[in-house]
Amino acid sequence: MTADLAVGDLVEVEVGPVAHGGFCVARHEGRVVFVRHALPGEQVRAQVTEARGGQRFVRADCVEVLTASPRRVPAPCPYAGPGLCGGCDWQHADLTYQRDLKAAVVREQFSRLAGMEVDVVVEPVPGDVDGLGWRTRVEFAVDPSGRAGLREHRSHAVVPIDTCLIADPRVLDTGVLRADWQGHEGVDVVVPSIGAPVTVGLPAQGDDIPVVVERVAGKRFSADFEVSARGFWQVHPGAAATFVDVVLELLAPHPGETALDLYAGVGLFATALATAVGDGGRVVAVESDPEAVASAAANLAAYPSVVAVRGRVDDAFGVPRASRSGPAPRRTQRPRKLRRHPLLPLTADVVVLDPPRTGAGRAVVDQLAQLAPRAIAYVACDPAALARDTAYLRDHGYHLRELRAFDAFPMTHHLECIALFAPGEARASAPVT
């Protein structure tokens, strides 16, 4: 008999393994309970925060620790806890253990979704000391009184705060938490690697959004990039250089080769690839976001070997778009013609794949395999999507050769993985590292 639980119910549970998303798995009278602010092996009292009819699980928050894990530590931030800010998931675990938990999630996702046993260590990003003060881009919500704050977990409710310990101190030095933001839905604060911090009240568009400059100074590649203050850029100051260095190391692009950069953003990897393949090579970069495309045009202007394609990757390959939640299209809407973009190469030597959280998907992977690249570097912000796409790549004879993971978001459940795929026989020895 499965327990019938409702929001607000208190349950005493023994906490099991970590789950994807910053939860741990527990059970109460046959019902799965995903518990936040708990650690594996603990005995806790948890309060149900979300329960929906027909679901086999509920979500809950640990409100009392009865038997603590030896890896539990006091959360450094006063807003990290049940019913408070939803930005951090693991402040109650020591930093090394946080990375162990993230590695366990990667292993579980690969086992469940790709049928593979992988061995992976989550590495700190260079420059990180204690997991605090790293976030250089923060979007604050604004409450009805005009005060900036952060949202509760899985909620639109705004938690008023006086500090944010994972934010770069220069974010708070702007006075964003003391200012009156009446009339704004939110506010972005950006601390670029070059120049002064920038604050943008939301909504904002066009000339209201400044452009900042970010410097990448890696071991294998260095350059400056123009980025919209509302555009995508890695929020950890050491992440961009680290990821470029790893991708270049894994792919080892040669002069004269053809490279493809999918979901190219502002041109970070395309620029590095262009430097590696030289004037005799070719780089095709595909990106759909208008702000990123505008920035990429400026960043790639000095590289004649780069061809920029504006559009979604699935559209560029001429395949059906992956289904997404949202309103159904109107019946009067004309069906979209599927047509491969003429600037996409018919073959490629190396590919960088840096998709959004949903992953590339089977249709894009099918097209990618037809290009017959010798190597694919997959940069993933979601281990579940990476594991699913790993299975699709394996169907085409591309096997995982190397997997690295980085703690680019300390104190949260997020991480970044970089995987190398190459054609040929699967290696008999397991696990893959």
Q: What residues are annotated to the active site?
A: 381
Q: Could you give the count of Cα atoms lying within 13 Å of 372 in the half-sphere of its Cβ?
A: 2
Phi and psi (nearest 5°) for 359?
Answer: 90, 180
Would you say 267 and 232 are in contact if contact means Cβ atoms under 8 Å apart?
A: no
In whole angstroms, what is the distance from residue 122 CA to residue 234 CA? 17
| Residues in Cβ contact with 50 at an 8 Å cutoff, skipping those fewer than 6 apart | 7, 58, 59, 154
Q: Which two tokens stand for residue 299?
A: 């960043």
In whole angstroms, what is the distance from residue 227 CA to residue 241 CA? 15
Q: What residues pair up with 223 in beta bridges, in sequence order?
A: 216
In whole angstroms, what is the distance from residue 90 CA to residue 288 CA? 34
